[in-house]
Structure 1
Amino acid sequence: MDAPEPFEAQIMAEFAQRRELFAHMAKDLQDILLTLIAREGVSISNLSVRIKGEETLRRKVRFKHKYTRLAEITDVIGCRIITLFEDDVDRVRDLISREFDVLEVVERRRKHQEAVDFGYNSLHLIVRFSGARVQLAEYQAYGDIPFEIQIRTVLQHAWAEIEHGLGYKNDFEIPRIVRRRLSRLSAALELLDEEFCNVRDEVDRYNHSIDRIERVLKTDINLTSLRRYLDTSETVREINAAIAEGQGLPMTFDPEFLVRQKVPQKLAFQGIRYIHELDELLRAQRERIISFGRLWLRARRPDGFNYYAIVHFALAGLALSEGEVPDEGQLKMLMESVYRLAERKPASE
């Protein structure tokens, strides 16, 4: 280890003296940031706050050869915020700029670096508690303590972790062929970060477009539109209520049923590809669906009645003649045929 610096003992003594204060501050900082980010409506993958270890701090003091007191070391407390989307990095930065005093900004953006450095494409802020915040009694002791906040995306963080695991210390240790591969991977990950933002925006626009049931009816059937229709349709609510009446079973809400049972595929097999077609079927076959649903529940006596099973009852009811009352054996055959629908090819358009 390098020789001790002239101020090392003084810095380490101050660190030991203030360690408990740092621990309290780290906890408060985490609570404050989580609250602010939630209020801003930003979805994050993780937020962590750490205090630099004693030996790590000692090595930094000896390696840098410039510190004379603890207050000059700005990352004794460090926070890492990992966002899901790249544009949320800037949203979190703006939030922190409003809520804290920003002393320094270090933007490590890929456009200023070699492609291989995607993992360091993150934002580092040196900040401290704002004057308004330290006016509060519980935060007064933190006013003179700077700390570091690092903001990066999930993909940037994953790249940095993998890159660290590869074990090289600097670019000069990387063979040319490996550098080329890393450069290609880095570019691909940057593109993924951008595309995830685009996909999120497309999903938001799509969800917004089917918020009203009138719009839903004009939508092709997929898991999102089907779930939205079943959740908002008065027809579905009334039919389910009629099926459940007098059965003595609790109504359950398990939308994963639509995924497990491949319900959109089953509807497609029967030539039902748009929500309005399903809506017309439920309205036209209302009494038949209610009758079949009641018969099925009485025959099987499940623990509960899943709200989303109505589509299965509708599909099974298509095989019944008007007024037909199937026996238990026919019920079983009908439902088994519905379960097998997704294994066949959809009806041709």
Structure 2
Amino acid sequence: MEIEKTQLQAWRNEMLVYKFALDEVNTKLNILNEEFQFIHNHNPIEHIKSRIKKPESIKKKLERKGLNLSIEEAKRELRDIAGIRVTCSFVNDIYRIVDLICSQDDIELVDIKDYIKKPKPNGYRSIHLIVKVPVFLAERKEKVFVELQIRTIAMDTWASLEHKIFYKYERDIPVELKDQLKEAANTVHALDAKMQYINEEVNEIKRINVEV
């Protein structure tokens, strides 16, 4: 069953509400980042990238899940139509952003998966949040699912490489490459830990110098 042109346009129109939800969350993240820069002279967020799934991608996911090809079904069952990827310099910054976002009164935390403390078997590390964000339209208020993936720069580099390899080999990655990816993931983890340690040492030196 294909999505007809008129239905496709209806989907595109409905996706506008997801753009508004992304705008809301992006604004919150940028405010937090600017506030931290002002108060602590430190930007916890290095980069923010957002996207909305295309109607055809939504259709394919609904089909894989055995769900009806309808806008209502997609909005009810799919939580990653609107997605934001946040990259941070240090692991501590990731948890700081998670706490700050989840503490906001108008953000409803739906689900959290911590793949940093409990990595996936392939070595993938990140924190995934599913939140609901209120979007105020002309005639109604709607709560919209938004997925946030928050990771360090090193984690993001690894994830991008793994994603490319995953699709290049059509999801059937050779065992040797899987082993090398897992080894690289462990190296990334060690690098993040070392960078975190160095950053804490620098901050401690600054603190002592200020007190003196």
Scaled to the shorter chain, the TM-score interval is 0.7 to 0.9
**1:174 matched to 2:171:** no
Deviations, residues 190-242 of structure 1 (Å, cap 9, x unaligned): 01011111110001111222236xx5xxxxxxxxxxxxxxxxxxxxxxxxxxx
Structure 1 residues 93-132: aligned runs within 5 Å: 93-99=98-104, 100-109=107-116, 111-114=118-121, 117-118=122-123, 120-129=124-133
**1:30 matched to 2:61:** no
User: How far did 1:156 drift?
Assistant: 0.7
Question: Paired residue for 2:65?
Answer: 64
Distance 1:109 1:141, change over 3 A: farther
Q: Which runs of 5+ in 1 are unaligned?
A: 216-349
Question: Paired residue for 2:151?
Answer: 152
Structure showing greater Rg: 1
Conserved in 2, the CA contact under 8 Å of 1:81 and 1:151? yes
- Output the CA distance in 2 between the equivalents of 1:192 and 1:43: 18
One-letter amino acid of the structure 2 residue matched with residue 76 of structure 1: I
- Output the CA distance in 2 between the equivalents of 1:37 and 1:138: 27
**1:45 matched to 2:46:** yes
Alpha carbon RMSD of aligned pairs, Å?
A: 2.9
- Output the CA distance in 1 between the equivalents of 2:138 and 2:92: 31
One-letter amino acid of the structure 2 residue matched with residue 92 of structure 1: I
One-letter amino acid of the structure 1 residue matched with residue 87 of structure 2: I
TM-score of the two chains, using structure 1 as the length reference: 0.50
Question: Paired residue for 1:82?
Answer: 87
Structure 1 residues 274-313: aligned runs within 5 Å: none
Deviations, residues 38-92 of structure 1 (Å, cap 9, x unaligned): 3355521111221111221222122221356232221221111111111211111
TM-score of the two chains, using structure 2 as the length reference: 0.78
Q: Which of 79, 91, 97 in structure 2 is aligned with 1:92?
A: 97
User: How far did 1:123 drift?
Assistant: 1.2
- Output the CA distance in 1 between the equivalents of 2:25 and 2:173: 38
Distance 1:110 1:173, change over 3 A: farther
One-letter amino acid of the structure 2 residue matched with residue 104 of structure 1: D
Conserved in 2, the CA contact under 8 Å of 1:83 and 1:154? yes
Secondary structure of the residue that 2:80 maps to in structure 1? coil
Distance 1:152 1:183, change over 3 A: same
Question: Paired residue for 2:198?
Answer: 199
Distance 1:206 1:139, change over 3 A: farther
Conserved in 1, the CA contact under 8 Å of 2:21 and 2:133? no
Higher relative contact order (CA 8 A, sep 6+): 2
Question: Share of identical aligned residues, percent?
Answer: 21
- Output the CA distance in 2 between the equivalents of 1:112 and 1:201: 24
- Output the CA distance in 1 between the equivalents of 2:180 and 2:83: 32
Secondary structure of the residue that 2:155 maps to in structure 1? helix
Secondary structure of the residue that 2:181 maps to in structure 1? helix
Deviations, residues 227-263 of structure 1 (Å, cap 9, x unaligned): xxxxxxxxxxxxxxxxxxxxxxxxxxxxxxxxxxxxx
Structure 1 consecutive aligned stretches of length 4 or more whose deviation exceeds 6 Å: 8-11
User: How far did 1:186 drift?
Assistant: 1.5
Distance 1:54 1:16, change over 3 A: same
User: How far did 1:31 drift?
Assistant: 1.7
One-letter amino acid of the structure 2 residue matched with residue 96 of structure 1: I
Distance 1:139 1:121, change over 3 A: farther
User: How far did 1:142 drift?
Assistant: 5.3
Q: Which has the higher helix share?
A: 1
